[in-house]
Structure 1
């Protein structure tokens, strides 16, 4: 249930906002060509990035979402190299761990958890959103969600997540979890060592955290507006990107920019009132990056061949994960 409280999963958890992955911006004159028929059948996705030093290699596969619902992913290259690797680096992220006895201690606070998705003081979306933004919400809600009076009392960040998920489903797109499941299956089949690369967020006073969150104001109107903008203008381009990933066409993906609601929604949670007095919730993105880079360096030093998965956006960003390794003297080669 705690994960439902923080699905600024776009902020704290690894695959939380898998829908929204920010690619590098494109030139303003780069117009997407609608591609309404999604690819079906078996597709390989992009090739592998190669990080190397002193004869040791870390292979990195770039995951992406959304993807076509009917696509079956299979890459012979990934299967072969992963099976021959000595270590697999799990995707980076952050988690909130609640052990069994601490979970029992949390039970009395569950009544406080109920309603955590709702706006404080019984406010509705109409009350907390600018009038023009709320007017744009109504037709999209009718199109993708239908009658749902309850959602009108949710915080904008949660309502936006529900709307975006429904919009993607109607567009024939999925979150692409099948790719992760297949990779996990190969890892288990070959009994490859798995190394976690994320960080754990402290949860010393869960009941107080929940109460503070419920009372906390979130500056999430911009997150909400950016989500509406994507659904209003970006559906065709999402299909193009999904098809491009399936075909391994990275150039096509990089040419298409879009409204980046992930950053706005993440910032709404990172800068919320309930995080300000909690040092363990500060600099989360930077700590996740540092943790992954540290795990990658250890794997490169210890193994002839290691394997990792990263979101494609984290690979392509100029200040992303592979750029950090390159700055440390590692050779980074793009897929052929």
Structure 2
């Protein structure tokens, strides 16, 4: 186990991936039917009026086979260039990403900037001593269950979707809503032909190592003064993560077909469709559940994490642009296409930014 693994475990509660990246539903989804005790829950398609069923749009088929993914954004100043590639999750499970174009760009670059991340510096041996403290970090405080901490209507929706995508799993009922919702989301993806986008990031790392191109971090490190106390405080703290949990249910309950369409848009490199996506609603709800919790807000190491990550990336990107003839960078696609995102900051500083067609 290396230092990065220990740090990732230590900060597992902070580094939850923003999984759904879903747009807001056009209207609030109706609560699913809940069966009386001892009876199976009725299928939504059966209980819906016939007219509504006839008007329902066809299910989007998730693409398969070799797909190019999106093109790269090009940031230039003088004769130096920064190629920026946008990652997305979820992606089509049976897609084979055609990385040939990216391999050429990486091979001709002097440096690859990994996505920005905040890493906790605790030291290897000190990190090993922290591992026992991490046991139970995903659980609700005081042995509470999801039934205890969720509003009744939200728990009813959870029960229906859990039965559909996860099945019997008593242990998950004791997890904090944010962790339970992550497990539900991944199970929902799998049953709908989708998978997390980490495979793309891994492939780019492999390409860089194969071509002996320098891999660089683009975030910052935190020196935690008392990580053991931080973990203890988090395990005992209540976290207002119901909004994160509810947005996850919305995504699976009302937005799964749109999720497939977004995955297809990334796979096919359809920039026009990619730009239509609202990436932030669930992400913001889940991020805020952590960053606004008392244990984090009262810890100086974690204050203004998003702002510090952005500043660190911009500083690293500008240095790479100055030092290298060609640099390749990876960002979440939401941070690229956002009119107030990372590339907008570079453009405001005088860099030329070109979008793929």
TM-score (norm 1): 0.90
**CA gap 1:105/1:259 in 2 versus in 1, 3 angstroms:** closer
| Deviation sequence 1:297-331 (CA, Å, 0-9, x none) | 00111111111111111101122111111111111
Q: Which has the larger radius of gyration?
A: 2
Q: Does the 8 Å CA contact 1:229/1:259 hold for their aligned counterparts?
A: no
Q: How far apart, in 2, do the equivalents of 1:265 and 1:4 lie?
A: 18
Residue aligning to 1:300: 321
Residue aligning to 2:91: 67
**CA gap 1:258/1:27 in 2 versus in 1, 3 angstroms:** farther
User: What is the Cα deviation at residue 220 of structure 1?
Assistant: 0.5
**CA gap 1:282/1:200 in 2 versus in 1, 3 angstroms:** same
Q: How does 1:1-336 map to 2 (within 5 A)?
A: 3=8, 6-8=11-13, 12-13=14-15, 16-17=16-17, 19-21=19-21, 34-106=58-130, 110=132, 112-257=133-278, 260-336=281-357
Q: How far apart, in 2, do the equivalents of 1:330 and 1:291 lie?
A: 17
Q: How far apart, in 1, do the equivalents of 2:126 and 2:313 lie?
A: 28
Q: How far apart, in 1, do the equivalents of 2:140 and 2:200 lie?
A: 35
| Deviation sequence 1:69-105 (CA, Å, 0-9, x none) | 1111113321212111111111111122332221244
Q: Does the 8 Å CA contact 2:22/2:259 hold for their aligned counterparts?
A: no
User: What is the Cα deviation at residue 22 of structure 1?
Assistant: 6.1
What CA RMSD, in Å, does the superposition of the two structures yield over aligned residues? 2.3
**CA gap 1:191/1:20 in 2 versus in 1, 3 angstroms:** same
**CA gap 1:273/1:56 in 2 versus in 1, 3 angstroms:** same
Q: Does the 8 Å CA contact 1:26/1:254 hold for their aligned counterparts?
A: no
Q: Does the 8 Å CA contact 1:33/1:237 hold for their aligned counterparts?
A: no
Bigger mean CA deviation after superposition, 295-304 or 67-76: 67-76
Bigger mean CA deviation after superposition, 81-90 or 96-105: 96-105
User: What is the Cα deviation at residue 114 of structure 1?
Assistant: 2.0
| Deviation sequence 1:30-76 (CA, Å, 0-9, x none) | xx965532211111111110000111110111111100111111133
Q: How far apart, in 2, do the equivalents of 1:167 and 1:34 lie?
A: 19
Q: Does the 8 Å CA contact 2:271/2:356 hold for their aligned counterparts?
A: no
Q: How far apart, in 1, do the equivalents of 2:280 and 2:321 lie?
A: 36
SS in 1 for 2:240: coil
**CA gap 1:178/1:106 in 2 versus in 1, 3 angstroms:** closer
Q: How far apart, in 2, do the equivalents of 1:247 and 1:181 lie?
A: 20
Unaligned runs of 5+ in 2: 1-5, 28-55
User: What is the Cα deviation at residue 143 of structure 1?
Assistant: 0.8
Q: How far apart, in 1, do the equivalents of 2:129 and 2:296 lie?
A: 22
SS in 2 for 1:231: helix
SS in 2 for 1:52: strand
Q: How far apart, in 2, do the equivalents of 1:65 and 1:293 lie?
A: 23
| Deviation sequence 1:254-305 (CA, Å, 0-9, x none) | 3344782211011000011111221111000000010010010001111111
User: What is the Cα deviation at residue 3 of structure 1?
Assistant: 3.8
Unaligned runs of 5+ in 1: none
Q: Does the 8 Å CA contact 2:21/2:282 hold for their aligned counterparts?
A: no
Instruction: Count residues in correspondence.
Output: 325
Q: How far apart, in 1, do the equivalents of 2:200 and 2:144 lie?
A: 40
